[in-house]
């Protein structure tokens, strides 16, 4: 689930100071609403191509934009191995609450699609629309845990931490038992998801990490009747080619046009 289509960004971030002094890095672009909020994937950060493309899109249209690093990611404080879905959700909500005003469109990539949905459930009065890019709700339970296999599961249960080879980096992917266990408190796909705003899901059909059928299942679970899935036949998990980013922009144009501006 690691999205490493990342390029470094020279701009120094701002920091939101959270509980116990946690420093949550963010970058905010001023503008009108609806604002755009980018929520990144597992072990990725706010300097990736999709995050920066979203910010550039917002600038050209005069929209506010926020991107952030969860604790243990990018330029934020904390140890990645201490992270859980609940912790990273609280990071996102804290920065959204402190640094945005008015209606927001949340854009979640991979794990960020799960964070996006959970944030929308907790802030229904603030969220005007959702865009999921290979969204991965419940991935800890439905994708990560079964993919490990019985032997790695036993090691993880015993050692509480596991490092597995990554297809995207020379560094291994870190998986903790706390991530798996705490993730079970936030599962969504076994019941109706009471989100009523417009939702757009973009998914590559050659995604090796999150099958495109995952988006179909999510669409079926959403309460909203305004849900559309766009499948990219040759798209991978990252969906960060110029054509993919053009698709994201066109999708946002449609959603932004439907939201009252301020």
Query: What does the alpha-carbon distance between residue 86 and residue 115 come to, in Å, rounded to a whole number?
Result: 9
Catalytic residue from among 138, 237, 240, 244: 237
* Catalytic site includes residue 207: yes
What SS3 string covers 162-184? Answer: EEECCCCCCCCEEEEHHHHHHHH
What SS3 string covers 32-71? Answer: EEEEEEEECCCCCCCCEHHHHHHHHHHHHHCEEEEEECCC
Beta carbons within 10 angstroms of residue 163's beta carbon = 12
Polymer length in residues for the chain: 262
Residues 237 and 244 sit within 8 Å (Cβ to Cβ): no
**134 backbone φψ class: left, alpha, beta (φ>0; ψ -120 to 50):** left
Catalytic residue from among 3, 138, 207, 244: 207
Question: In 3-state terms, the chain is what percent helix, strand and coil (to 5)?
Answer: 40, 25, 35
Q: What is the largest CA-CA distance in the chain?
A: 55
Query: What does the alpha-carbon distance between residue 250 and residue 228 come to, in Å, rounded to a whole number?
Result: 13
* Catalytic site includes residue 237: yes
Catalytic residue from among 110, 186, 209, 215: 110
Q: Which residues are catalytic?
A: 110, 207, 237
């Amino acid at each position: 689930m690691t999205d490493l289509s990342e390029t470094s960004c020279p701009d120094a971030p701002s920091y939101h100071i959270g509980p116990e002094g946690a420093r949550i890095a963010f970058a905010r672009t001023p503008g009108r609403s609806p604002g755009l909020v980018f929520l990144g994937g597992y072990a990725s950060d706010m300097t990736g191509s999709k995050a920066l493309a979203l910010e550039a899109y917002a600038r050209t249209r005069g929209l506010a934009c926020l991107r952030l690093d969860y604790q243990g990611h990018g330029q934020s404080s904390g140890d990645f191995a201490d992270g859980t879905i609940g912790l990273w959700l609280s990071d996102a909500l804290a920065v959204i609450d402190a640094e945005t005003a008015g209606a927001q469109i949340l854009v979640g990539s991979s794990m960020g699609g799960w964070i996006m949905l959970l944030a929308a459930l907790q802030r229904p009065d603030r969220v005007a629309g959702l865009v999921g890019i290979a969204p991965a709700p419940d991935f800890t339970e439905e994708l990560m845990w079964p993919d490990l296999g019985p032997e790695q599961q036993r090691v993880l249960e015993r050692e509480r931490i596991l490092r597995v080879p990554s297809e995207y980096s020379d560094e291994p992917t870190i998986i903790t038992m706390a991530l798996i266990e705490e993730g079970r408190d936030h599962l969504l796909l076994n019941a109706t998801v009471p989100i009523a705003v417009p939702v757009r899901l973009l998914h590559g059909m050659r995604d090796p990490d999150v099958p495109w059928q995952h988006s179909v299942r999510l669409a079926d679970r959403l309460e909203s009747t305004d849900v559309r899935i766009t499948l990219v036949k040759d798209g991978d998990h990252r969906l960060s080619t110029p054509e993919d980013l053009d698709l994201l922009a066109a999708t946002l144009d449609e959603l932004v046009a439907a939201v009252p501006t301020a």
